[in-house]
A and B are shown apart, each in its own frame.
Chain A
Amino acid sequence: MDMNFFLSTIIGTLCFAVLAPIVGCLLSGADRIISARMQGRVGPKLLQPYWDVRKLLGKDKIAVSGSEDTYINLALFFSLLAGGIFFSGGNFLLVVFVITLSSLFFIVAAYSTRSPYAEVGAARETLQVMSYEPMILLMTVAFYQVVGTFDVGGVMLMNHPVICTAWAAFLGLLFVLTIKLRKSPFDISSSHHAHQEIVKGTTTEMSGPTLAKVEIMHWVENVLFMGWVGVFFVYANPISIAVALIAVVLIYFFEIWIDNNFARVKWQAMLKWAWIAALIAGGLNVAFLAFM
Chain B
Amino acid sequence: MGFASKSPWVIHYDASSCNGCDIEVLAALCPGYDVERFGIINTGNPKHADIFLVTGSVNEQNKPVLQEIYSQMLEPKVVVACGCCACTGGVFHDCYNVLGGVDKAIPVDVYAPGCAVRPEAIIDAVVEGLGVLEQKSEALKEQQKRGA
Residues on A lying within 8 angstroms of B by beta carbon are 32, 36, 39-45, 48, 51-52, 54-55, 58-60, 62, 194-196, 199-200, 203-208, 211
Indicate if the CB atoms of A52 and B74 lie closer than 8 Å: no
The docked-state distance in angstroms from the alpha carbon of A206 to that of B45 is: 10
Residue B36, interface by CB 8 Å: yes
Contact of A41 among B31, B41, B43 (CB under 8 A): B31
Stretch of B3-11, B16-24, B78-86, B101-109 with 4 or more beta carbons under 8 angstroms from chain A = B3-11
Chain B binding surface SS class: loop
Indicate if the CB atoms of A59 and B45 lie closer than 8 Å: no
Contact of B47 among A48, A52, A54, A206 (CB under 8 A): A206
A49: nearest chain-B partner, CB-CB: B7
Tally of B interface residues using CB under 8 Å: 26
The docked-state distance in angstroms from the alpha carbon of A42 to that of B31 is: 8
Chain A binding surface SS class: loop
Contact of B76 among A36, A54, A59, A207 (CB under 8 A): A59
Q: A58-B137, A59-B74 are in contact. Are A194 and B41 (CB under 8 A)?
A: yes
Residue B75, interface by CB 8 Å: yes
Indicate if the CB atoms of A60 and B75 lie closer than 8 Å: yes
Indicate if the CB atoms of A55 and B44 lie closer than 8 Å: no
Indicate if the CB atoms of B47 and A205 lie closer than 8 Å: yes
B43: nearest chain-A partner, CB-CB: A194
Indicate if the CB atoms of A200 and B74 lie closer than 8 Å: no
Determine how close the nearest CB of chain A comes to the CB of B8; give it in whole angstroms. 8
Nearest 3 pairs of A and B residues by beta carbon: A194-B44, A54-B3, A207-B47
Contact of B45 among A42, A52, A54, A199 (CB under 8 A): A199
A33: nearest chain-B partner, CB-CB: B36
